[in-house]
Structure 1
Amino acid sequence: MNASDTSLLEAVAGLATAPLATIAQRLREATLPYLGSSALVIFTEDCTGRPQKKAGDESIISRVSIAELDLIRASLSAASEGLPGGRWQGNTVLGGKEHPVLALSSPSNALLVLADPQPLPDPIRHEAADRMLRYLWTLAAERIREKVADAPPSYLIESRAASAERVRVTAELVDHHSTTLETLLAALRSPALSDDAARKSATDVAARALVGLRTLSDRTTDLVEEPVATAFQRLREDLKPLMNFSGIDVQFIEPPVNGRALPGEVAHAARAIVRGLVLAMVDQAGVRRIRTQWDCDGENLLVNVRDDGPGERSAAAPAMARLAQRVEALDGSMSVEVMPGWGADVAISLPLDPPARPLADVADWKLGDRELEVLQLLAAGQRNRAIAAKLHISENTVKFHLRNIYRKVGATSRTEAIAMAHSNGVR
């Protein structure tokens, strides 16, 4: 085995075991021998709290927006006619500036964007490198999907907190700019203004800005939650290959179309759990029919999966036990009723609201007076520069205090610290 083979195996092993926080950096390191790039961005709606995972040039990854990634995804979808595994290459805005980019999709609908791609000059090696890039990206996308499906309660709490914070910030921006633009429209439409041409031009510009803001707000909401009917349709798409090639009749009982929207991580985990149940049931002799049903009672997603097999899959079976752990990660419940000779009936309830975090006494955090002031401003939504200005200290000092705060409260990120502060009455 030569050095390049060893490096490839190490890269594959690194991707296969990478935590979500480092997946983008691991993927970039793995792909650089096959395709150089200045920055790598992963956009996945499976992670509602952190849909972007980035590595590379800080001037790009710190400024890239969901709107830019949506435009790239639209170009990719058009080029590949919406089929999974598509590819698109061209010039587009990324991080506020135009760059040549290469975009790849995945079967899980995740998006990979490479800025300033630099392919190998040898056409033969370039073709092999392109296949390797596709393989590494597929592996990373599946790793993300797997990690989110098996997420522990702490990740789910943080994910929901991040989602809620993003909705709050976006809503504030929409309200602020909508008021400004609506005032501008009212003034420009006033009959007291005589320059019709200027008024029409300004009205058109303002109207487009309003549409853009509303679209951004809707897009953010789409990332945070998913209509129950849409989530169920995605499950049907996931199970299509099984329906087409196994000869088993997989029946779907549609949920009410007006049911409460599902938090993104609940929708994703529910699909993963049902896929696992169906595969466990198929792995029995004599199964001819599986019925899947979703419902929503306003507080819980109710899932029922039933087969007509020999009834061999009890709750103690390894495959079923793993699925039960996924359910418990969402603070849900799962019951398995086995009827020998008649099949198994699995009922799952997943709460739509996050599990409550046990309250801590703020005094137990042992924060200093200045640290508590910084935490209060952080919880109020202030950025580092604003905190520094209010407290008459430098931004580096703010960062120093934040590191100490994270350590003392047991937070791993800014968002989690804000969520913990809010849950303990710090405003």
Structure 2
Amino acid sequence: MNQRSDAYPIELLHGLATIASSSLLRIAGAFSTVLEPVVAHSALVIFTEDCTGRPKKKAGDPAIIDGVTIAELDDVRRVTPPRRHTTAHEGSPTSVLLPTTAVIAGAERPIVAWLAETGALLVLTDPQGPVDDRLIGALWEIVAADIRQQVATAAPDYLRDSRTASSERAGAIAELTDAHATTLESILAITRSRQTTAEDARRAVTELASAAMVELRAVTDRDRQLAEEPVGRAFARLKEDLRPLARFGGPEVQFIEPPVDGRALPGEVAHAGRAIVRGTVLALVEQSAIGRVRVQWDCDGSNLLIGIRDDGPGELSADTPSVQQLGARVTALRGSLNVQATPGWGSELQVTLPLDPPPVSQTRAGAASALTDREWSVAELAASGARNRAIAQVLTISENTVKFHIANVLRKVGVASRVELAAALASGR
């Protein structure tokens, strides 16, 4: 361990605790702060396919974090070997990693990079001084695992941000398409030039147009890979998630497979769908005398339709705390949740999750644009009819904090009551 990192062992542990409590929106900044005493750097960039909405998480120099592209990070990942775990007796005690260079934000820069077991990539630009490979690699494995866990739990704030990012990404792709169309039109103008022969002009145009089309297809294909998950694969991952339940004596779980040719699911919808089913099954098995749970996914082209039914006592309701927590995820994606229970016959939950995000003009660009992430969560739950105690339970905050947020929300949106708030948010959807 180098001299700088050895001086801060307790601070590093406290830093990890801070990172673990950070949302995915702030995890890059928290990790950069923790690593700064270990190795100074101009920017920290995380690239993880676990996060479909925002696969890049960045902190540091705006010129770098605003310009870094997925294509550049893909190139770095291809040449970064997976980290090999070593014991305390293996290798050099310092295990110094020497910087290399790569194109980041359009310029060749010194970098160091680590590839976690999850496949997530960490890049530090312009590192200063010796770089402790083993220390930072071990910290990165912990952070990468935390990112994957946060995605798997599908917290409402994460789902909402991913849905917003999906809209932004669609706009970026549209802009890229327009840019290439303009470029191709300009290239075609070469054929009308009197300064080149017809043969030379055709050759130049063909080469440039072909290169532009290849680049365009590569960007759109890569974006689709990051943004979508085939419905069959998403359902297979769900079955794998629930397998331990049956293994340890839980109820029998029956799966009704979705159509194999169903529309691919946006990543945030796939994550939410799995988290909702897992949470619902766990809520159901808390009841007595549950012998069987049936899980069904379907897709009508516009929505993911989830149906979950048990054969238990029929005690589940919308007021059950675990169901309220599930409702927060559904609300974050503008979906609907319906609970029906028949005493002695069982409970059934029906969830509808829209596959497409609302237009950007219909999201926070409206009256609620000034709300923070937490205020937005409180506002949506309040608008759905949840009372302060239920909101506090869902968001794991105190009722006094809920009251504080409600007051701020009403003031910022410019309404006087929860009824008016619900109307304002509905008109902005």
TM tier, shorter chain?
0.5 to 0.7
How far 1:169 sits from its partner (Å)?
1.1
Aligned counterparts, 1:74-223, within 5 A: 74-75=78-79, 79=82, 92-96=102-106, 97-105=108-116, 107=118, 110-115=120-125, 127=134, 130-143=137-150, 146=153, 149-151=155-157, 155=161, 158-179=164-185, 193=199, 199=203, 206-223=209-226
SS at match of 2:199: coil
- C-alpha distance in 2 between matches for 1:274 and 1:330: 15
Aligned counterparts, 1:265-344, within 5 A: 265-282=268-285, 289-308=292-311, 311=314, 313-338=316-341, 343-344=346-347
- Find the counterpart in structure 1 of residue 73 from structure 2: 69
CA contact (8 A) 1:48 1:163 kept: no
- Find the counterpart in structure 2 of residue 252 from structure 1: 255
How far 1:186 sits from its partner (Å)?
12
List runs of 5+ in structure 2 lacking aligned partners.
Answer: 1-5, 85-98, 371-411, 415-426
Judged with a 3 Å threshold, the aligned counterparts in structure 2 of structure 1 residues 80 and 172 are, in CA distance, closer, same or farther, namely: farther
Matched, 1:17 2:27: no
Judged with a 3 Å threshold, the aligned counterparts in structure 2 of structure 1 residues 79 and 237 are, in CA distance, closer, same or farther, namely: farther
- C-alpha distance in 1 between matches for 2:315 and 2:287: 7
- C-alpha distance in 2 between matches for 1:119 and 1:287: 60
2:35 alignment partner AA = T
How far 1:324 sits from its partner (Å)?
1.4
- C-alpha distance in 1 between matches for 2:9 and 2:337: 44
How far 1:322 sits from its partner (Å)?
0.5
CA contact (8 A) 1:166 1:220 kept: no
- C-alpha distance in 2 between matches for 1:110 and 1:331: 29
CA contact (8 A) 1:37 1:118 kept: yes
1:259 alignment partner AA = G
CA contact (8 A) 1:61 1:95 kept: yes
2:308 alignment partner AA = V
SS at match of 1:67: helix
| Range with bigger deviation, 306-315 or 166-175 | 306-315
Aligned pair partner of 1:28 in 32, 41, 63: 32
CA deviation digits over 1:321-359, x for unaligned, max 9? Answer: 201121122222212334556553221112234455599
CA contact (8 A) 2:256 2:294 kept: yes
List runs of 5+ in structure 1 lacking aligned partners.
Answer: 82-88, 366-407, 411-422
CA deviation digits over 1:7-41, x for unaligned, max 9? Answer: 23532342233344432110111234455544211
1:254 alignment partner AA = E
Structure-1-length-normalised TM-score = 0.64
- C-alpha distance in 2 between matches for 1:181 and 1:257: 42
- Find the counterpart in structure 2 of residue 386 from structure 1: none
SS at match of 2:262: coil
- C-alpha distance in 2 between matches for 1:134 and 1:331: 34
Matched, 1:346 2:349: yes
CA deviation digits over 1:255-278, x for unaligned, max 9? Answer: 224434434433332232223223
- C-alpha distance in 2 between matches for 1:118 and 1:207: 41
SS at match of 1:345: strand
Judged with a 3 Å threshold, the aligned counterparts in structure 2 of structure 1 residues 354 and 292 are, in CA distance, closer, same or farther, namely: same
Judged with a 3 Å threshold, the aligned counterparts in structure 2 of structure 1 residues 128 and 214 are, in CA distance, closer, same or farther, namely: closer
- C-alpha distance in 2 between matches for 1:91 and 1:237: 40
CA deviation digits over 1:89-115, x for unaligned, max 9? Answer: 9754322325443133464x6543333
Judged with a 3 Å threshold, the aligned counterparts in structure 2 of structure 1 residues 116 and 288 are, in CA distance, closer, same or farther, namely: farther
CA contact (8 A) 2:83 2:114 kept: no
CA deviation digits over 1:37-83, x for unaligned, max 9? Answer: 4421123456555432211344432321011123334456x8589xx
- C-alpha distance in 2 between matches for 1:15 and 1:110: 16
Judged with a 3 Å threshold, the aligned counterparts in structure 2 of structure 1 residues 71 and 49 are, in CA distance, closer, same or farther, namely: same
Judged with a 3 Å threshold, the aligned counterparts in structure 2 of structure 1 residues 304 and 74 are, in CA distance, closer, same or farther, namely: farther
- Find the counterpart in structure 1 of residue 56 from structure 2: 52
Identity %: 43
CA deviation digits over 1:207-262, x for unaligned, max 9? Answer: 34421221112323444444434443443454455566667654433322443443
CA contact (8 A) 1:171 1:217 kept: no
1:266 alignment partner AA = V
RMSD (CA atoms): 4.6
- C-alpha distance in 1 between matches for 2:285 and 2:38: 39
SS at match of 1:217: helix
CA contact (8 A) 1:185 1:206 kept: no
2:43 alignment partner AA = A
- C-alpha distance in 2 between matches for 1:56 and 1:248: 49
SS at match of 2:307: strand
CA contact (8 A) 1:37 1:114 kept: yes
Judged with a 3 Å threshold, the aligned counterparts in structure 2 of structure 1 residues 249 and 17 are, in CA distance, closer, same or farther, namely: same
Judged with a 3 Å threshold, the aligned counterparts in structure 2 of structure 1 residues 133 and 152 are, in CA distance, closer, same or farther, namely: closer
How far 1:117 sits from its partner (Å)?
5.6
